[in-house]
Amino acid sequence: MKNVYLLIKLNRLIKSVWIKNLGIYFLHITGKRYYAVFLDPIVMCNLRCRMCYFSDENYRKTHQSRKFTDDEIEKIANVFFKRALKLQIGCGAEPSLFQNNEKIIRLAKEKKVPYISMTTNANLLKDEDWKSFIDSGLDEVTLSLHGVKKENYEYFMTNASYELFLASLQALTKLKKQNPQFKIRINYTVNKDNLEELAYFFEIFKNYHFDILQIRPIQKIGDSDYNDFSWNSIIEQYDSIIGKLRQEAIIRQITFIAPEKKDLTKSENENSSIADSTNFYVSSRSCWEDGFDLQKDTYESYSKRTHLGRRLFKRIFQKSNNKTKKILNYKIN
Ligand SMILES: C[S@@+](CC[C@H](N)C(=O)[O-])C[C@H]1O[C@@H](n2cnc3c(N)ncnc32)[C@H](O)[C@@H]1O
Ligand code: SF4
């Protein structure tokens, strides 16, 4: 299915976790696509965003990582892409520091992965990079934003330049005209100190094109410079600011994704309970499940050796198998 947002909506409509697990088991044994690959081709970042673990010196010291070689990228493509519904390049680090993203995108295209996306801070990418990604087959880009105005943007995204971000947005807006199927998505990581300026979002960015706007409340994803997770002082304003933004997005035919106030303080939802079966994280530090060996294993050999089919079958009958994951409930318009 090309439209991943429809798939997400469908996933939400099916409330029963056991039916979802039954579907996953069925797709696995019939050789169909059923999972998303979250790929970090390099575990480094050019920025030190205050809400992110890259602002923590200890994290940086203990997470020095080499990047994937060409050979490893080919192995990853051969092992994972033919059963993947979605490939997301850039998950826990900055993918634009990797020099050969085009190769990843092209391989995913060759293996007919239905949806290929990239998440990036966009500061290092120039017009020609964007063109080259789209020409290689990128379906969507998610640009991360931690402030609407220059001051907050550069305060929260340490080392970033507002002008470089706008230059990428300008290049993408231009490319969108020649590639109307390409999707531009904004991921606004919101906290109590950058919520209010969201009210100016559409005024400030009125000249740029967006297809999707996601508001993602700050979560504890590791030790970080900024770690105020409280909403108490701002909770009453949350629904009013988000509500107005939602209305504006609907008028502009932009898909709007944000949790409602009532969900802000909740830490789990039912969809989280299938994430372990359908979200495969691949980086040079960790590849799918413990025990998977990229040099020796294939999807089939590993599944057979570790009885993946049997494990997925058992999950159908487990009452709830993953209530500790912190995944927020998002409302999609
Ligand atoms: C860790 S980044 C990696 C990808 C890329 N470097 C980027 O920033 O787009 C993935 C997403 O996490 C978001 N993020 C960073 N810190 C966060 C936090 N404390 N809570 C929730 N999301 C956060 C970022 O804004 C980004 O959209
Ligand atoms: S949020 Fe992304 S861009 Fe910012 S420091 Fe983290 S990995 Fe880097």
Q: Residue 84 phi/psi, 5° resolution?
A: -90, 140
Any ligand 2 atom below 6 A from CB of 121: yes
Domain ranges of the chain: 4-332
CA of 52 to the centre of ligand 1 (A): 6
Ligand 1 atom 25: residue of nearest CA: 144
The CA distance from 318 to 21, in Å, is 9
Give distance in angstroms: CA of 217 to centre of ligand 1.
10
Residue type, 63: H
Q: What pLDDT sits at residue 322?
A: 47
Residue 52 CA: nearest ligand 1 atom is: 16
Average confidence score pLDDT of the chain: 91
pLDDT digits (tens, 9 = 90+) for 276-320: 899 999 998 889 999 999 999 999 999 999 999 999 999 998 876
pLDDT digits (tens, 9 = 90+) for 27-65: 999 999 999 999 999 999 999 999 999 999 999 998 877
> Is the pLDDT confidence value at 330 over 60?
yes
Confirm or reject: Cβ of 52 under 6 Å from ligand 2. yes
The reply to whether ligand 2 has any atom less than 6 angstroms from the CB of 218 is no
Nearest to 202 by CA among 250, 236, 273: 250
The first and second tokens of residue 153, run together, are: 């943007």
Q: How far is CA 281 from CA 30, 69, 81, 227, 237, in A?
A: 23, 17, 13, 25, 36
> Ligand 2 pocket, 160 CB below 6 A?
no
* CATH no. of 4-332: 3.20.20.70
Residue 236 pLDDT grade (very low, low, confident, very high; cuts 50, 70, 90): confident
Residue 15 pLDDT exceeds 80: no
Is residue 329 over pLDDT 80? no
Q: Give the residue, by CA position, lying nearest to ligand 2 atom 7.
A: 93
Rounded Cα distance between 23 and 31, Å, is: 12
Phi then psi for residue 217, to 5 deg, are -60, 145
Q: Are the CB atoms for 109 and 79 separated by under 8 Å?
A: no
- Ligand 1: atom nearest CA of 143 is 9
Judged by its nearest atom, the ligand closest to the C-alpha of residue 49 is: 2
Residues near 310 by beta carbon (within 8 Å), at least 6 away in sequence: none
Ligand 2 mean position to 36 CA, how many Å?
Answer: 21
List pLDDT tens digits, range 78-112: 999 999 999 999 999 999 999 999 999 999 999 99
Ligand nearest to the CA of 88: 1
- What is the reported pTM? 0.93
Residue nearest to atom 26 of ligand 1 (CA): 144
Residue to mutate (ligand 2; options 38, 40, 44, 47; most atoms within 8 A of CB): 47
